[in-house]
Structure 1
Amino acid sequence: MNEILDAILAPDTTSADFAGLTIPESYRAVTVHKDEAEMFAGLESKVKDPRKSLHVDEVPVPELGPGEALVAVMASSVNYNSVWTSIFEPVSTFGFLERYGRLSPLTKRHDLPYHVIGSDLAGVVLRTGPGVNAWGPGDEVVAHCLSVELESSDGHNDTMLDPEQRIWGFETNFGGLAEIALVKSNQLMPKPQHLSWEEAASPGLVNSTAYRQLVSQNGAAMKQGDNVLIWGASGGLGSYATQFALAGGANPICVVSSDQKAEICRKMGAEAIIDRNAEGYKFWKDEHTQDPKEWKRFGKRIRELTGGEDVDIVFEHPGRETFGASVYVTRKGGTIVTCASTSGYNHEYDNRYLWMSLKRIVGSHFANYREAWEANRLIAKGKIHPTLSKTYTLEETGQAAYDVHRNLHQGKVGVLALAPEEGMGVRDEEMRAKHLDAINRFRNV
C-alpha cells in the first residue's frame, strides 16, 4: 500500500506508472462480522453501539471482474446506512450478501463471513476489468453507490428500477470504508478538482439522494418559488436539500433541533427556520396516538414564515415521528417525497388530508447514474458545496458511526483511508479560494 500511496502523492506519476503498480494481496477495511450479527439482540436501537461491532481488518483484495474497477481509496465518509449495518438493523446486511451471491459465480465473491462497508469514496483508479473504456489507472474519481446489473428491461428508463438494483457497500461487499474498493465502472465520476480527498468523498450518497428527491422529475421536480419544508435541514441529507432549494430559487423552510443548527442554515442563506425543540413541537401524545393540534400549530407557524402560504413540497426522511405532520401541512396538490425513515418505518397519517386535497406521496431512493452525475457536476462547478464537519481515521470509524447514530454530528463526517492527513488532493487552488468559506461552513461546528 505504501507504493500505491507514494504514486498518488507524487506529482508526476503517469497512467502507465499506475498500471505498473503491484496490487497487494490484502488491504485494511472496516468490517462487520457475520458471527456477531446477534450481538445486539434484544436491545433498543439507541443503545446499540457501532464501536463494538465495527472492526478494522486485513482482508484479501477481491477478484476484478468485467465492467469493474479497483480504486485506491484516499477518503470515505459515514452515512446512515453504515449505522444500520453496524447495529444490524432493521436486518443484518449478510442477508443481502447471501442473496447477491446466488445471482452468479462472479457475485458469489460478495457472500463472505465479513462485510466491508461504506457507500462513498474519493480515490484513484488502480485497475479496470474487461469492457471498461471510459476510465483507466491514475484517474482521480469519486463513486456513487448505485450498483445495477441492467439485464432486465425494467431498469433502462431509470436504472433505479432495475430489479437487481443495490446500494454498494450496504447491499454489496467491498465498500468504500477501506484502503481499496471494488466498484462497477458506471459508479465512477470525476473528482471535483477544488476539493480535498475527504471533502470530495463526503457528498456522494447524500448529495445524489437529495438531488433526485427534490430536483429530479423522478422526485418532487422542484421549481422556482416553491416553498420546501426540509426536516433536519442542517444534517447530512437536509443540508444538501437546503442548498438545492436555495440554488434553484425555492424557499426552504428549515426544521432543526437547536439554535446551533439554525445558525448553520442561516449561513447557507436560509431565512425561514423552525427550531422544533425550542418551540416544543410534540407530534405524538404517546407511543400510539398522534396530536393533530400540533400539526395545526406547526402549519400555522409555517404560514407565518411564508406570508400565509402552505408548503408545496415536504422533504421527508425522519419517517414515523414526523410523517403525519408532513402530510397535514402540505398544500393542496402538493408533494411529500420520502427517502428514509430514521425514526421508524411504520408511518401513520390521516388519509383525509391526502386524498381530499389531492396530495402525492412519492418514494425516492438514492439516484440513477445521470442524477448522480448531475449532482456531482454541481459540486465540481462550485454551485453546491460539501458539508463536511469533522474527519476521522479509518481506525476511528466506529466512533464516527456512533456520533452519527446519536445525532452528535453536523452535516457529514469524513473518514481518511489512505490519505495521511486532511487537506490533500486539491488540484485547483484558484477555484477553491473562491469558495473556501462555503467549503468550510460546517467545519468544527
Structure 2
Amino acid sequence: MQEILDAILAEQYDAVGALPVPEHYQGVTVHADEVTMFEGLASRDKDPRKSLHLDEVATPEVGPGEALVAVMASAINYNTVWTSIFEPLSTFGFLKRYGRTSPLASRHDLPYHIVGSDLAGVVVRTGPGVNAWKPGDRVVAHCLSVELESPDGHSDTMMDPEQRIWGFETNFGGLAELALVKSNQLMPKPEHLTWEEAASPGLVNSTAYRQLVSRNGAGMKQGDTVLIWGASGGLGSYATQFALNGGATPVCIVSSPEKADICRKMGAELVIDRSAEGYRFWKDEHNQDPKEWKRFGAKIRELTGGDDPDIVFEHPGRETFGASVYVTRKGGTIVTCASTSGYEHQYDNRYLWMNLKRIVGSHFANYREAWEANRLIAKGLIHPTLSRVYPLAETGQAALDVHQNTHQGKVGVLCLAPQEGLGVVDTEKRERHLDAINRFRGV
C-alpha cells in the first residue's frame, strides 16, 4: 500500500497500475456479532465510536465491470451513522440478500461490513469489460450500485430492482484505504479541489440535484420559491446552492444563529432560525399543532412578500412533514429523500388534496444526474461544504458529530492521504473560488 501511496503523492499516476495490490488493507467496519450491542438504548445514546472499528481486511477480487480504487479521502453520511447504530435495522441483512443474487455478489456477504459511500482517489485496477477508466485515473465515486439486468432500470437506473447504495447496502465501501466500485460509479475528480474536498460532495450533492433540480424530482425552475430544511447541513447546503445558482429564491430553515450566518455567506437572504422563533409543531408525541403550522407559514410570507413555497425540500421527516405539507403553495411540490427525525409521517391530507399539491419521493440519483452534479462542482459553480476533517482512525468520532448534529455541511475523513491540502491540480481555478471552497471550514 505504501508503494501505491508514494506513487500517488509523487504524481506518478501511470506507475500505479504496475504496482502490486496488497492482499489486505485497513477499512472501517461494523461487526455482525455486535448488532445487539445498543439494545435498550435510545437512538441519541448510541455511540458510533463503540461500533465502528478500524480493521485489517482482505482485498476483494476485482470482477467484470468493476474497479479497485486507492482511497485518498472519504466523508461521513447519515447512512454511515445508521449503519453504526444498527438502525432502523442491521445492514447485514442487505449484504446477505445481495450475496444471494450471484456468485460474484457473494463476496459482499461477510461477517464484517466495510462502510462509506463517498471517495476521492486513484484507480488501481479495473476488471474485464472496463474501457472508460484505467489505473492511474483520478476519480470520485457516486454511490449508486446497479446491476441493469432488468428492463426497469433502463430509463432511470434508480428504478432498477437491484439498485443499491454502495457502502451501505453493499460491502467494500469508501471509508478505507481501498474500495471496490462498479466502473459506472466513477467520475472525474474536480482538479481544483483537494482530495478531502473532492470526496465530500458525492452522495449529498447528487441527492440534492435529483431531488430539487432533476425532472425526476421537483424540477425547480427560475423564480421558484424553495423552502429548504436544514439549509446549512450536508444536503441542505447543496440545495441552497442549487436554488441560488438556478435562479430560485431559497428560504433557509436553520436551528442557530451560526447556521443562519452560513446561509447568508452562501448568498441566501431569507433565513428562519426555527430555534429563535420557538416553533413547536408537535403538542406531544401523538398530536401536532396546526396553529404552529400557520405561524410558520405567516413567517415565510413575511419574508417572501406574500409568496408560499413552490417547492419544499424535505428530509427531516416526522418532525416537520405536517408543516411542510401545510405551507406549500397550491399546486406546489413537497419532495422528500429521508426521514432523519422519524419515518412515520403525519399530515392533514385536506391541505394536500384540496390544494392539488404533490408529494414526490426522491432517492439518491442516477449516473447522469450524479455526473451533472459533479460537473457543476468541477466548473466551480457549486462548491464543497466541508467543515471538518478527521483521520481514518477517528471515523467513529466523525460519525458521532453527524449523529449528534454538531457538524455543519460535510465531515471529511482522510484515508490514504497523510494530510489535508493534497491533490490540487488546477491552482488557478482554485484561487478564483477559494473563499467559497472554504466557506464552511472550521465552523
* TM-score tier after normalising by the smaller chain length: over 0.9
Residue-by-residue CA offset, 1:198-222 (whole Å, 9 max, x unaligned): 0000000000000000000000000
CA distance in 1, matches of 2:102, 2:137: 29
Q: Give the secondary-structure state (helix, strand or coil) at the position aligned to 1:278.
A: helix
Aligned to 1:23: 21
Aligned to 2:3: 3
Aligned to 2:171: 173
Residue-by-residue CA offset, 1:325-364 (whole Å, 9 max, x unaligned): 0000000000000000000000000000000000000000
Q: Deviation at 1:18?
A: 1.5
Aligned to 1:91: 89
Alpha-carbon distance change, 242 to 14 in structure 1, aligned in 2, over 3 angstroms: closer
Residue-by-residue CA offset, 1:378-437 (whole Å, 9 max, x unaligned): 000000000000000000000000010000000000000000000000000000000000
1:39-438 superposed matches below 5 A: 39-438=37-436
**Matched residue pairs, number?**
443
Q: Give the secondary-structure state (helix, strand or coil) at the position aligned to 1:326.
A: helix
Whether the 8 Å contact between 2:196 and 2:414 is mirrored in structure 1 is yes
- Give percent identity, aligned residues only: 81
CA distance in 2, matches of 1:73, 1:294: 47
Normalising by the residue count of structure 2, what TM-score does the alignment of the two structures yield? 1.00
Q: Give the secondary-structure state (helix, strand or coil) at the position aligned to 1:289.
A: coil
Alpha-carbon distance change, 256 to 428 in structure 1, aligned in 2, over 3 angstroms: same
Q: Report the AA paired with residue 196 of structure 1.
A: T
CA distance in 2, matches of 1:368, 1:321: 28
CA distance in 2, matches of 1:41, 1:312: 42
CA distance in 2, matches of 1:268, 1:435: 12
Whether the 8 Å contact between 2:13 and 2:137 is mirrored in structure 1 is no
CA distance in 1, matches of 2:394, 2:243: 34
CA distance in 2, matches of 1:285, 1:439: 41
Q: Which consecutive residues of structure 1, in runs of 5 or more, have no partner in the other structure?
A: none
CA distance in 2, matches of 1:19, 1:416: 22
Q: Give the secondary-structure state (helix, strand or coil) at the position aligned to 1:5.
A: helix
Q: Deviation at 1:14?
A: 4.6
Residue-by-residue CA offset, 1:290-324 (whole Å, 9 max, x unaligned): 00000000000000011101000000000000000
Alpha-carbon distance change, 329 to 3 in structure 1, aligned in 2, over 3 angstroms: same
Normalising by the residue count of structure 1, what TM-score does the alignment of the two structures yield? 0.99
| Poorly superposed stretches of 4+, deviation over 2 Å | none
Whether the 8 Å contact between 2:144 and 2:185 is mirrored in structure 1 is yes
CA distance in 2, matches of 1:309, 1:233: 19
CA distance in 2, matches of 1:294, 1:301: 11
CA distance in 2, matches of 1:398, 1:175: 15
Residue-by-residue CA offset, 1:81-111 (whole Å, 9 max, x unaligned): 0000000000000000000000000000000
Q: Report the AA paired with residue 251 of structure 2.
A: I
Aligned-residue RMSD, C-alpha = 0.4
Q: Give the secondary-structure state (helix, strand or coil) at the position aligned to 1:332.
A: coil
Q: Give the secondary-structure state (helix, strand or coil) at the position aligned to 1:331.
A: coil
